[in-house]
Structure 1
Amino acid sequence: MMEKYFKNFLFFYKAIGNRLFVALTLNVLVGILDGLGLAMFLPLLQMVSDNGGEIEGKSAVIEGMFSSMGLELNLFSVLLFMVSIFAVKGLIKFLSFSFQVIILQSFIRTVRIDMFDKFHVLNYKYFTQSDFGRLQNSVTAEVSRVGQACRSYLKTMEALVLVMTYLVLAFITNPQFSLLVTVVAGLTNFLYKFINRKTKGQSRILVKRNDFFQGMVLEYLNNFKYLKVSGKIQVFGERLTKGIKQVEETNKRIGILNGIALTIREPILIFVLSAVMLVQVEVLGGSLGLILLSIVFFYRALQVVLVMQNQYNVFLSVEGSLRNLEQIQREFDDHHQDTAGRTFTGLRSFIRLDGIRFGFGDRIVLNNIDLIIPENKTMAFVGPSGSGKTTLINLIAGLLSPDSGQILYDHKPIYEYDISSLQSRIGYITQEAVVFSDTLFNNISLWDKMTDENLSRYERVVQDAAMDEFVETDSAENQVSGLNLSGGQRQRVSIARELFKEPDILIMDEATSSLDSATEAVIQRRINEFSGKKTILIVAHRLSTVKKADIVVYLNAGNIEAQGTYEELMDTVPKFQKMVELQNL
């Protein structure tokens, strides 16, 4: 029950902690000081009223307070006291505002860091099956909108505290009048409930449309070249335009609802006070003089109530983002990869796969795989497309976890190792070459320090990866990106990066597919030099790259159909023979 009504409070309290109560306490002090300053109207009214008897009793407390301070109750002392009170109130208001800014920025920073911390240990299988547009939207735009939700929620809580403070002061001053105003003001809440419900619904629609739009933007950027050359960029552009219109139409509706909530505030405020004053004086026969201070308190309170309702409506306009963030955080927690374990210091004897089974949903990718990969041997995986070669490599590298069976490194299951320490000893060169918008040195060293030793290693791997033909001397600080390099150049950067790493296990998944024959031969000679010194795993469709492998494994439809040397498979596996013949080897 508590979570149902306080789930928003609990969400923000989890990130902000006890600082939330400090912020609320400062708001209470602001309300009390404001009320104390306004209470000075009592002796002022007594001084200027021809018939001040009705308020004389209520100002007696204030007269006693002044006497205890050795001050005479006169116009100068009352005004001076009021100025002092409001000056202190202003100082505390400044502290309250500044403190809210601090905790708001701390909240956004905490949420962003927490999202990426969860992302770092996200299960790769879940990642590959996720909506990338939703992922990007959640860690970028949605976090900003949740920051806006936090700001509006803090403003709502601040207003709530002030309202309660003013109501207490108003009831002390005139209980009957205060009760009437509270009842009438409460009736206006039904109008705001209707507006809030509509805003909340539009907020959740906006989240879905933003997810879809972010996904289209990613596809547009990733496939820009193809869309241009295929003449379909305008067609895709129309889809983007439609997405933009849907997002902005929803934003427009939310803006109109917020505008309604904001513009009806003052008319409602004046209506409530006027109606209650009329009933109090004309129907109940009350004195206008007696209710003047209560009116001041209630005018303050109702102003703050309407601010609170408006801020809450703003909160609801981004509440969908808050719920979406909670949902994706739960998904991240449910699909995280455990990284704790013993440190992997290097392969000593073998990698063994026992009864490995893996699939995506109902689609079986690998079925009952048994395999031993000896240390410092070169093993190649071949077979038709979709046979499970890359998936098998990803399992060995710890990117994926098997549905059943186990993977052992030197007799120890892979899950007993700190996966980061294991992967730091693996060099993984894929056909999707990765290049960061940074210096060439940082691309190859992955932001290692530019020491003399690292520079010497950098220069060596640049030559080993046949990059010297397009890289100038003293190129370490040259800026590069994936856009200003050809496919072959990007692939050579990726190869140099893994050679710089000096791994124990080198995985090459179609690593030379974008290279010309001459460059491929140069790199292949360098890789062959590692034979007997590193454990090398190769996935290749170009079978010329696997001739010198110690073991060639032939996969088909998720099963290992044969393994042996290149020559042995040529003699015993007709499907492999046909693959070789088709490539004229």
Structure 2
Amino acid sequence: MSKKSHKSPNISTIAKLRALLTRRDKVILLFLFIATIFFSIMETIGISIIMPYITFASNPSLIFSNDISKRIYEILECSSTLQFMVFFSVILVAFYLFRILYGVAYNYALNRFAFRKYHFFAYRLFCKSVDLNYADFTRKKTDAIRHNITDAALKASFYVQYLLQMFSEIFTIVLMYGLLLITSWKMTLALSVILGLQVILITRFIGGKIKKMGAIRHAMDTRFHEIISKTFGNFKIIKLKGNQQDVQKEFESASFTRIGAEILTQTLLPMPKLILETIGFSVLILSVVYILVCYDSAAAVLPIISMYALALYRILPAVTKILQNYNMMSFYGNAVGHVYEDLLYHTDYEDNEPCEFARSIELRDICFGYKEGKPIIKDFNLTIHKGEKIAFCGPSGAGKSTLVDLIIGIYKPQKGEILVDDVKIDNHNLRSWRKKIGYIPQTIYLFDGSVADNVAFGSDLDEARVIQACKKANIYDFLCEHDGIYTRVGEGGILLSGGQKQRIGIARAIYDNPEILVLDEATSALDSATEARIMEEIYGVAKDKTLLVIAHRLNTIEHCDRKIEL
């Protein structure tokens, strides 16, 4: 345990990130890694080449005392040191232009990889959420799922970006450090000790605080989504209760905590830069004093001072950037953890093998419960013949909806089996079985779009089929008084009456011409007259279909062939 506690806080997060990357991602990362090394080498050359350039410019005779410069002079067949320096200057300018182009291409590749991972994470999280079985979905918070798809996936991609940028700066520092050791190893080691101590203190105290703020920010972001969803989802109730102030206070508390974490984080992030620059330039001043004491010649002092000035000018921002990237990785580490947990969450594979329903549905010794040891349905047996109209009755909590959800494949029995024409329903044919179901729930969810979009929801939109479904549901005449099947329904169907929403729900259920219709207390919220009309319409629509009705009221089930009491 003690060994684990001394680990870097990002080690476990990097391991999770590695598990999330595909083989192709790792190949791309290898190429980016090589590109990073090459970029660091160019950065080092860009700094180190200034020292001999200044030396030769201040004292051209030194060109002949250096073996490399002398050899280049002879190869180029220069007629004078001036010609050599002009050529040197042109090469130097060309090199810096190439470095700019390479830097742009490198940063594009880096950002392209990182943000494509955002697309990948968001898409996979969405697919994973859709593939959840219904029992697992009901146990998860919808706002948390939404937040992970939209926010955590983006932060996880930022984590990848910061990690790559940190490695880039590390290589640059290593190469620069090597040059400084060659220039003056004593002064470089002294500089290393001073800067190293500062880095340790910054990562230990500032980094830990930023990681904590990241956890608070993630929790408050999720809370934000929850408050907004429940507020606008119950807007009418809030108006009736007049408790706007309570909702506003709850929002204010979450917002204040979230912003407090953000303020502290943004305050702490620039601190490493300020600390390191102050120390770095102080060390540079002391280095100048040291060099002036050790060297009597100004010609010798100038290139060395220039070398250290340029190296520190590049090293200090690099160290600062490494610390900032490290701190941001700590801040976004929670997001990587949430993406990792959601993507590795086990979901059952469900296939679409053909499933024929010509004779009967049979339930054999079905057992099911939401909690272990507390079954709602136990050793239940039932046979439903094709075309039958079956009513499921009983008090609230008796298991009516649960039983029907088992029949239509929303839940899976914990014991026993469901057979359709003597073929067991399992993960191989479950999707095919579900496609035979038309479901009309008690609460019809309509999104802010047209009637056509809501009716065809989840299927390809066919205007003729939408019109036919709306006619069967007795809603088409009403739509013709407005914009036809492209009449807007409003968020949650707010522009429609309760009866109109139910009819659109019926049209949606029969749009794909299902073999089985399920009515889950779909008319219980309507007045008696409207309920009677809609039930007549449902029985008319379902005359050649198998109908499963969950209801409390007797008038709802009077046309059913059988009544199953639970």
Q: TM-score range by the shorter chain?
A: 0.7 to 0.9
What corresponds to 1:61 in structure 2? 68
Contact 1:207–1:324 (Cα < 8 Å) also in 2: no
Within-5 A mapping of 1:84-233: 84-193=94-203, 194-233=205-244
Counterpart code for 2:160: C
What corresponds to 1:307 in structure 2? 321
Contact 1:429–1:495 (Cα < 8 Å) also in 2: yes
d(CA) in 2 for partners of 1:99, 1:519? 62
d(CA) in 2 for partners of 1:51, 1:540? 100
Alpha-carbon shift at residue 455 of structure 1 (Å): 3.1
State which of 14, 18, 27 in structure 1 corresponds to 2:27: 18
d(CA) in 2 for partners of 1:463, 1:545? 22
2:502 matches 1:491? yes
d(CA) in 1 for partners of 2:51, 2:388? 94
What corresponds to 1:392 in structure 2? 403
The worse-fitting range, judged by mean Cα deviation, of 147-156 and 484-493 is 147-156
Alpha-carbon shift at residue 94 of structure 1 (Å): 0.8
What corresponds to 1:35 in structure 2? 44
Counterpart code for 1:271: S
Within-5 A mapping of 1:465-544: 465-472=473-480, 475-481=484-490, 482-529=493-540, 533-544=544-555
CA, structure 1 residues 9+348, in 2 after alignment: closer, same or farther (shift >3 Å)?
A: closer
Counterpart code for 2:546: T
Contact 1:380–1:551 (Cα < 8 Å) also in 2: yes
Secondary structure of the 1:501 match is: coil
Unaligned runs of 5+ in 1: 556-585
Counterpart code for 1:46: T
State which of 453, 471, 482 in structure 2 corresponds to 1:463: 471
2:87 matches 1:77? yes
2:318 matches 1:291? no
Deviations 1:388-440 (A, max 9, x none): 11111112222112222222222222214343322222101100102122221
CA, structure 1 residues 529+489, in 2 after alignment: closer, same or farther (shift >3 Å)?
A: closer
Alpha-carbon shift at residue 471 of structure 1 (Å): 1.5
Deviations 1:531-578 (A, max 9, x none): 6632211101122121221221000xxxxxxxxxxxxxxxxxxxxxxx
Counterpart code for 1:205: I
Counterpart code for 1:162: T
Contact 2:36–2:167 (Cα < 8 Å) also in 1: no
Counterpart code for 2:535: Q
What corresponds to 2:442 in structure 1? 431
d(CA) in 2 for partners of 1:66, 1:507? 90
d(CA) in 2 for partners of 1:306, 1:322? 23
CA, structure 1 residues 221+521, in 2 after alignment: closer, same or farther (shift >3 Å)?
A: same
Secondary structure of the 1:405 match is: strand
CA, structure 1 residues 66+384, in 2 after alignment: closer, same or farther (shift >3 Å)?
A: farther
d(CA) in 1 for partners of 2:174, 2:90? 27
Secondary structure of the 1:188 match is: helix
Deviations 1:459-517 (A, max 9, x none): 23222212135322661222222222222221111111112221011111012223444
What corresponds to 2:454 in structure 1? 443
d(CA) in 2 for partners of 1:63, 1:9? 51
Contact 1:505–1:535 (Cα < 8 Å) also in 2: yes
Contact 2:479–2:487 (Cα < 8 Å) also in 1: no
d(CA) in 2 for partners of 1:56, 1:168? 26
Alpha-carbon shift at residue 305 of structure 1 (Å): 1.4
The worse-fitting range, judged by mean Cα deviation, of 4-13 and 440-449 is 4-13
Contact 2:143–2:225 (Cα < 8 Å) also in 1: yes
d(CA) in 2 for partners of 1:302, 1:12? 33
The worse-fitting range, judged by mean Cα deviation, of 153-162 and 505-514 is 153-162
Contact 1:359–1:366 (Cα < 8 Å) also in 2: yes
d(CA) in 2 for partners of 1:176, 1:5? 38
Contact 1:156–1:308 (Cα < 8 Å) also in 2: yes
RMSD: 3.0
d(CA) in 2 for partners of 1:109, 1:417? 30
CA, structure 1 residues 293+543, in 2 after alignment: closer, same or farther (shift >3 Å)?
A: same
Alpha-carbon shift at residue 197 of structure 1 (Å): 1.2
Alpha-carbon shift at residue 258 of structure 1 (Å): 1.2
d(CA) in 1 for partners of 2:478, 2:553? 25
d(CA) in 1 for partners of 2:115, 2:174? 27
Contact 1:357–1:403 (Cα < 8 Å) also in 2: yes
Counterpart code for 2:385: P
Deviations 1:1-44 (A, max 9, x none): 99748426625744843222333333322322233233333433
The worse-fitting range, judged by mean Cα deviation, of 62-71 and 144-153 is 62-71
State which of 371, 383, 407 in structure 2 corresponds to 1:361: 371
Unaligned runs of 5+ in 2: none
Deviations 1:315-358 (A, max 9, x none): 2222222222222333xx22x132125233x4122222222222
2:425 matches 1:411? no
d(CA) in 2 for partners of 1:235, 1:97? 48
Deviations 1:130-177 (A, max 9, x none): 233322221222223323333322322222232223233434444444
Secondary structure of the 1:431 match is: coil
d(CA) in 1 for partners of 2:446, 2:322? 50
d(CA) in 1 for partners of 2:242, 2:524? 27
Secondary structure of the 1:508 match is: strand
CA, structure 1 residues 390+5, in 2 after alignment: closer, same or farther (shift >3 Å)?
A: closer
State which of 44, 48, 51 in structure 1 corresponds to 2:53: 44
Counterpart code for 1:350: S
d(CA) in 2 for partners of 1:71, 1:56? 12
Counterpart code for 2:484: S
d(CA) in 2 for partners of 1:52, 1:13? 56
TM-score (norm 1): 0.85
CA, structure 1 residues 285+304, in 2 after alignment: closer, same or farther (shift >3 Å)?
A: farther
Contact 2:51–2:306 (Cα < 8 Å) also in 1: yes
d(CA) in 1 for partners of 2:296, 2:324? 35
Secondary structure of the 1:371 match is: strand
CA, structure 1 residues 490+70, in 2 after alignment: closer, same or farther (shift >3 Å)?
A: farther
Contact 2:352–2:428 (Cα < 8 Å) also in 1: yes
Deviations 1:289-326 (A, max 9, x none): 56335413343223211121122212222222222222
Contact 1:269–1:303 (Cα < 8 Å) also in 2: no
CA, structure 1 residues 164+279, in 2 after alignment: closer, same or farther (shift >3 Å)?
A: same
d(CA) in 1 for partners of 2:290, 2:305? 14
Seq. identity, %: 23
TM-score (norm 2): 0.88
Contact 1:389–1:539 (Cα < 8 Å) also in 2: yes
Number of aligned residues: 546
Contact 2:365–2:381 (Cα < 8 Å) also in 1: yes
CA, structure 1 residues 91+369, in 2 after alignment: closer, same or farther (shift >3 Å)?
A: same
d(CA) in 1 for partners of 2:549, 2:213? 51
What corresponds to 1:570 in structure 2? none
Deviations 1:230-258 (A, max 9, x none): 11222222112111111111112212211
